[in-house]
Amino acid sequence: MTIITGQDTAGTRKTLSVEGKTIDYYSIPAAEAAGLGTFSQLPACLKVVLENMLRFEDGKTVTTDDIRAFGEWAKQGGRNPREIAYRPARVLMQDFTGVPAVVDLAAMRDGIVALGGDPKKINPLNPVDLVIDHSVMIDEFGNPRAFQMNVDREYERNMERYTFLKWGQKAFNNFRVVPPGTGICHQVNLEYLAQTVWTDTDQNGKEVAYPDTLVGTDSHTTMVNGAAVLGWGVGGIEAEAAMLGQPISMLIPEVVGFKLTGAMREGTTATDLVLKVVQMLRAKGVVGKFVEFYGDGLDNVPLADRATIGNMAPEYGATCGFFLIDDETLRYLEQTGRDKDRVALVGAYAKANGMWRDPGYSPVYTDTLELDMGTVVPAISGPKRPQDFVALDAAAKTFNAYVKGQRDGNDASQKAEVRWEGEGGQPEPATIPGDEGHHNRGYVKTADGSYQLHDGSIVIASITSCTNTSNPYVMIGAGLVARKARALGLTRKPWVKTSLAPGSQVVSAYLEAADLQEDLDAIGFNLVGYGCTTCIGNSGPLATEISEAINKYDLIGVSVLSGNRNFEGRISPDVRANYLASPPLVVAYALVGDMNVDIVTEPLGQDQNGNNVYLKDIWPTQKEIADLVEATVTREAFLSKYADVFKGDDKWQGVETTDSLTYDWPVSSTYVQNPPYFRDMSPEAGTISNVKDARVLAVLADMVTTDHISPAGSFKETTPAGKYLIDRQVPVREFNSYGSRRGNHEVMMRGTFANIRIRNEMLDGVEGGYTTGPDGSQMAIFDAAMAHHAKGTPLVIFAGKEYGAGSSRDWAAKGTALLGVKAVIAESFERIHRSNLVGMGVIPFEFTNGDTRASLGLTGDETVSITGLEGDLKPLSEVPCEITFADGTVKNIALKCRIDTAVEKEYVENGGVLHYVLRNLAKSAA
């Protein structure tokens, strides 16, 4: 690929000699020597951004003043929020977010043709890799057939999407697709795609080395920060602009330094460490900031553990969690099959450009905090937020407190009733550990036998997600727990749905090499697929009898997963409490099957001789794990498994598609439809209008996530999305999930604010996607929005703190825009969702002067007008808002307009970032 480098007015382009070869690079020490600023005390993560400024400095988009601003950042104690134009080297996608992005690109080709332009202009200028990992669902589990049967069902459900993606692979330049059944995008990125230092030829034919950087259409793109690759998640909208050559407009971020000291003690895992880190950083407050990990404790943190910490940056709210290049980085790159010349270049480049971790490394940070890793204890996190850290020895006690809190005040659930499902007599009620009379319970009869289900029964135990399956230490640890449990005669409880979904095929290679897969199989952790599965809500259906009992008798079912997200309504519609845990603990909880049991002090079960078996009896030592990792995780395994990563299996190779510049949209498709964004678009941008006499669509509380706004999981036939599919003769069995149907705006509009656990404060005690319609009656949010649209009424949303936390999904913003929402007014926004709203032309506003929805007494009956938006609106300015209450009372407040930069203002004026890009491309063609 050819990169366009800047004019190098300061003479910062130098030559590096590595292994007898020379290559050009842009030198930060040379920029300092040229008098552009003092950069030696910058954190390494900011040096990566600074290098980007040096390489693309052209006197227009990037100027020497932008470069000097980095020197001022250090002088001002880690603060200088100057707007800059940043260009990542590449873009990473997964299929849930990638399909709508490719749909948008295809629609833009239609749009530019309508404006008289050339469809070839709509083409990625930067490399784009899309990994199909979000579509496999766990329909089959616990048997040797599970993997193949789930793959077969995946193709049955998703052939329309896969045909479309294969068309895109042919139609667009710089666009590659990693087929289904290969792995999770972040793990494939970490193990294969990422290079830490990238090389390309520039417009003059010279080879240039520069830091590997990217943005991804998934919030956990940050995982690759563990390998010193600067990357973070953006919405599909922003990613599309980036791949079309648009720089990312951002402010020079603050950087929080997180110092790690000491070493993990026996019995703890990287998962325990990252859950502690998430808790600490959430409490610190790092939204919109970079976090850089430093300290001598990193000598004891393998890269796989670093990737786990980097992966969960969205959970602690940061833009990224960055680790420097050091000897461990080079060891990992070589082990995972990178070319040895590339490994040598990474080390030489990092040392030459001040990005190498030397002993005592301690740059200027905006703020710092510190953790002695020797103080970390075994832990889980839940029941509904990643930052809710729970020490393992307190897990049962805190779960009981959670159940009591759920039951208190709920008259229908106060009594601990015992019921029997199925034929036969009723057994004696079993005791529930820690029960204080507030647990519901019922007996169920299935093919596996008769047993009691109650509040706290673990019905899902899943080793899933790139967060932990990328880490051989915890995966080998899980296998050893299974081996020891099997030897003692323990197995999963019959009501637990168990699954193993690794993030890459390499995991299967080393589990098999260690003879551990057989042990995992024996207790129910059979391979179900290579993909995100349970972590993104693709846990598949529970056994019918279990699902019916949970719902009929209002039981609080529990899931335990090795993922990164446990938000309400995400994992399964049958599960109310979700816990994040290390893979070895997932296995242990499957053995006991009950969150009420204190697995630290109480037995997990009995061996063949009736003796109690405790967690300590089956927990492996760190030496046992390390020895097996050393023996089985090999360079040869990575080289073998990634040799034909883009080829796919026979099913993928058999997917047929057409050769055409524009897509022939199938009219009858319920998966892929031409979106309405560019229909009848004028050649010129408009202006921002005031919001006048808007009605309220929803009043929402704190920490409303993008899962609440745009759920990814399954949905029922009674929902607006379900009714839409039923009207088109799609049987319920073929509904698939919201995530899989993100290429169809009609489904996704109907799924916006449709999470089964969302609570609209306009209604009293009602869960789900409902609101008050124009006539005052309760109705689905989609139906109410369409009723308001028919009257020409604009809409607003009110919300609390951290609005839009969680996944980077663009449909949370797209759906909001298509429902007719003009403004979202919240106490604070998470970074990605705020950017996505702007990218769709929806204006985010924040309350000021201590105002909140509660202090203002908002009920949703109000009419809202926001002025000061027309004319010369300045970024981040305050504007007046008039709220008229149902009784005629009027309150005037000030709102902070979260259009943060001048470029973002242009996006909103154009109706969104894609409209902005499309108009500019059409003009350049003309």
The pLDDT tens digits for 129-157 are 999 998 888 999 999 999 999 999 999 98
β pairing state of 795-798 and 691-699:
parallel
> What are the C-alpha distances in Å from 537 to residues 178, 264, 568, 813, 861?
21, 31, 11, 20, 34
Question: Residue 309's pLDDT is what?
Answer: 97
Q: What is the CATH number of the domain that holds 561?
A: 3.30.499.10
Residue 52 sits in the same domain as residue 114: no
| pLDDT over threshold 60, residue 64 | yes
More confident residue, 208 or 439: 208
Instruction: Find the helix or strand (DSSP H, E) in which 17 lies.
Output: strand 13-18
Find the mean pLDDT for residues 887-898.
97
Q: Which of 330, 352, 375 is the last residue of a domain?
A: 375
Residue 418 sits in the same domain as residue 442: yes
> pLDDT band for position 96 (50/70/90)?
confident
Instruction: Give tens-digit pLDDT for 466-512.
Output: 889 899 999 999 999 999 999 999 999 999 999 999 999 999 999 99
How many other β-carbons are positioned within 10 Å of the β-carbon of residue 722?
20
Give alpha helix (H) positions in 541-619. 544-552, 583-592, 615-618
Report whether 210 contacts 47 (CB < 8 A): no
d(CA 233, CA 217): 6
Residue count of the chain: 926
Instruction: Find the helix or strand (DSSP H, E) in which 323 lies.
Output: strand 320-323
> pLDDT band for position 871 (50/70/90)?
confident
Put residue 739 in one of left, alpha, beta given phi > 0 → left and psi -120 to 50 → alpha. Answer: alpha
CA torsion through residues 774, 775, 781, 787, sign: negative
CA angle 725, 729, 730 (to 5 degrees): 55
Chain-centroid distance, C-alpha 179 = 20
Percent of the chain residues topping a pLDDT of 90: 78
d(CA 625, CA 154): 34
Residue 574 lies in a domain: yes
Residue 32 sits in the same domain as residue 97: no
Find the mean pLDDT for residues 534-550.
90
| pLDDT over threshold 50, residue 421 | no
Report whether 217 contacts 94 (CB < 8 A): yes
Mean pLDDT of the chain, nearest integer: 93
Question: Residue 429's pLDDT is what?
Answer: 59
pTM for this model (two decimals): 0.86
Q: Is 231 helix (H, G, I), strand (E, B) or coil?
A: strand
Question: Residue 420's pLDDT is what?
Answer: 46
Pick from 88, 92, 166: nearest CA to 128: 92
Residue 649 lies in a domain: no
Pick from 513, 448, 525: nearest CA to 482: 525
Residue 335 lies in a domain: yes
Find the mean pLDDT for residues 643-669.
92
Find the mean pLDDT for residues 427-451.
77
Residue 917 lies in a domain: no
Report whether 250 contacts 79 (CB < 8 A): no
Question: Residue 235's pLDDT is what?
Answer: 80
Residue 545 lies in a domain: yes
Report whether 298 contacts 50 (CB < 8 A): no
Residue 178 sits in the same domain as residue 151: yes
Kindly state the DSSP code that residue 829 receives in the 8-state scheme.
Answer: B
Q: Which of 375, 392, 423 is the last residue of a domain?
A: 375
Beta-bridge partner residues of 86: 248
Instruction: Give tens-digit pLDDT for 176-229.
Output: 999 999 999 999 999 999 999 999 999 989 999 999 999 998 889 999 999 999
More confident residue, 1 or 457: 457
Pick from 224, 740, 223, 181: nearest CA to 502: 181
d(CA 249, CA 363): 25
| Sheet with strand 458-463: strands edge to edge | 389-391, 379-381, 577-580, 558-561, 458-463, 497-500
Report whether 222 contacts 289 (CB < 8 A): no
Put residue 717 in one of left, alpha, beta given phi > 0 → left and psi -120 to 50 → alpha. Answer: alpha
β pairing state of 843-847 and 612-613:
unpaired
Q: Give yes or no for a cis peptide into 880 (omega within 30° of 0).
A: no
Residue 524 lies in a domain: yes
Find the mean pLDDT for residues 692-705.
96
Residue 367 sits in the same domain as residue 400: no
Residue 684 lies in a domain: no
> pLDDT band for position 411 (50/70/90)?
very low
**Lowest mean pLDDT, pick from 297-301, 323-327, 803-807:** 803-807
> What are the C-alpha distances in Å from 104 to residues 199, 684, 755?
30, 20, 25
Residue 77 lies in a domain: yes
Residue 24 sits in the same domain as residue 140: no
Question: Residue 422's pLDDT is what?
Answer: 44
Report whether 910 contacts 111 (CB < 8 A): no
Report whether 323 contacts 291 (CB < 8 A): no
Residue 785 sits in the same domain as residue 883: yes
d(CA 138, CA 463): 12
Residue 193 corresponds to which tokens in the numbers above? 């795609």
Q: Which of 375, 400, 424 is the last residue of a domain?
A: 375
d(CA 7, CA 12): 10
Residue 94 sits in the same domain as residue 82: no
> What are the C-alpha distances in Å from 321 to residues 236, 251, 349, 572, 711?
21, 17, 21, 29, 26
Percent of the chain residues topping a pLDDT of 70: 97
Residue 363 sits in the same domain as residue 387: no
Instruction: Find the helix or strand (DSSP H, E) in which 162 lies.
Output: helix 146-171
Find the mean pLDDT for residues 710-728.
94
How many independent structural domains does the chain possess?
A: 4
Pick from 353, 311, 345: nearest CA to 329: 345
Contacts of residue 478, Cβ cutoff 8 Å, sequence gap at least 6: 463, 520, 525, 582, 583, 584, 586, 587
Residue 43 sits in the same domain as residue 170: no
Q: Is 694 helix (H, G, I), strand (E, B) or coil?
A: strand
d(CA 710, CA 728): 22
Report whether 741 contacts 747 (CB < 8 A): yes
Question: Residue 391's pLDDT is what?
Answer: 96
> pLDDT band for position 417 (50/70/90)?
very low
Q: What is the CATH number of the domain that holds 757?
A: 3.20.19.10
Torsion angle in degrees (nearest 10) through CA of 299, 303, 309, 314? 140
Residue 437 sits in the same domain as residue 523: yes
**Lowest mean pLDDT, pick from 116-130, 249-263, 775-789, 877-891:** 116-130
Domain that holds residue 796: 691-710+752-910
Q: What is the largest CA-CA distance in the chain?
A: 87
> What are the C-alpha distances in Å from 304 to residues 63, 261, 480, 654, 750?
38, 18, 18, 35, 40
Residue 623 sits in the same domain as residue 764: no
| pLDDT over threshold 50, residue 163 | yes
